[in-house]
Structure formats: C-alpha cells, structure tokens
Amino acid sequence: MKTVDYPPEQISASAKETMRLGEKLGGLLTRGNVVALSGGIGAGKTCFAKGIALALGITEEITSPTYTIVLEYGGPVPFRHIDAYRLSGEADFELMGGEELVSGDFVVVIEWPEKIARFLPPDAIFVDIEICGKNRAIRTRTKG
C-alpha cells in the first residue's frame, strides 16, 4: 500500500471545496488504503468522502451509510464507505466481520473511526475535519 503526500492542513470555505479536497486525496489513493474521517456532526465527513469516491471513478450517488453502517460501490477502484456512528463499540463491528471490512481490494473510508479504533490498520490515513465558524479546517495525519 502506498503512502500519500497530502498537505497536513487545509481550509475549506464551502461544501464544494470540501468535496474537492476529498477528491484531491482520493486521486492519491490505491486499493487497500483506509481513510479515517473524524469530525462532529455536520463537519463535512460525507462530503469529503464523496470527493474521494469521485476521484476513484465512482459514478453512483454517495450517501451517508449512517443507518446501513456499510455501503460498497463498484468502479475502477472499488470503494467501501463505513459509518460507525450507530455502533455501540468494537464488539458490534467485530460481529459484522470488521477485520474483513477494512482490508482487501477496496479503498475504505470510515466515519467515526474512534468507535472502532482497534480495527484501523497501522498505515491508515486520518483526516480530522473541524468546524471553524463558516469554514472547515481539514487536518491530515498518520496514526504512527
């Protein structure tokens, strides 16, 4: 799995710009990459995920998997979108086959990754989105 060279901090002034920044990161990803998106409700996690999917060539509409927990999309690079918000913890994710969900031939994007932290691979890419007034501060880091 390749590492990505992405700016550690960027500011987004709109949903469209947040999606564009996600698309920029998505263009650097390959099968097997896992992106962990953190931020409060309404911060723009799903918007950022939409941009990643767009860069991967996904043509279907990307929606938040809040109630289904996991959505998969086919494309040139398959995309798996996980929203752990409604999980009560890591045991729930494990019962769903969590280890398999974060591995394999997909680019995986996880919203609310702190709920399933032990399932995140050591080379996961962490994206923290913070609401700063009308803007969003988007910070990228690696776990290690």
* Residue 132 domain-assigned (yes or no): no
Predicted local distance difference test score (pLDDT) of residue 3: 58
Assess if residue 50 is contained within a domain: yes
pLDDT range class, residue 143, cuts 50, 70, 90: low
The mean pLDDT of 16-42, rounded to a whole number, is 96
User: What pairs with residue 94 in β-bridges?
Assistant: none
Whether the CB-CB separation of 36 and 124 falls below 8 Å is answered with yes
Q: CATH number of the domain that 55 lies in?
A: 3.40.50.300
Q: How confident is the model at residue 5 (pLDDT cuts 50, 70, 90)?
A: confident
Residue 52 has pLDDT above 70, yes or no: yes
- Six-digit token pair at 94? 């494990």
Residue 28 lies in a domain: yes
For strands 79-83 and 107-111, give the pairing. Answer: parallel
Q: What is the pTM of this model?
A: 0.92
Q: What is the pLDDT of residues 53-111, one digit of tens each?
A: 999 999 999 988 888 899 999 999 999 999 999 998 899 999 999 999 998 899 999 99
Beta pairing class for 125-132 and 34-38:
parallel
Amino acid at 132: C
Q: Please state the rounded mean pLDDT for residues 26-31.
A: 95
Q: Exposed, middle or buried: residue 40 (CB in 10 Å: 0-12, 13-18, 19+)? A: exposed
Q: What are phi and psi of 124, to 5 degrees?
A: -60, 150
Domain membership of residue 76 (yes or no) is yes
Q: In angstroms, how far is the first alpha carbon of the chain from the final one?
A: 15
Range of the domain at 112: 12-116
Q: For the chain, what is the domain count?
A: 1
Q: Is residue 144's pLDDT more than 50?
A: no
Which pLDDT value is given to residue 67? 82
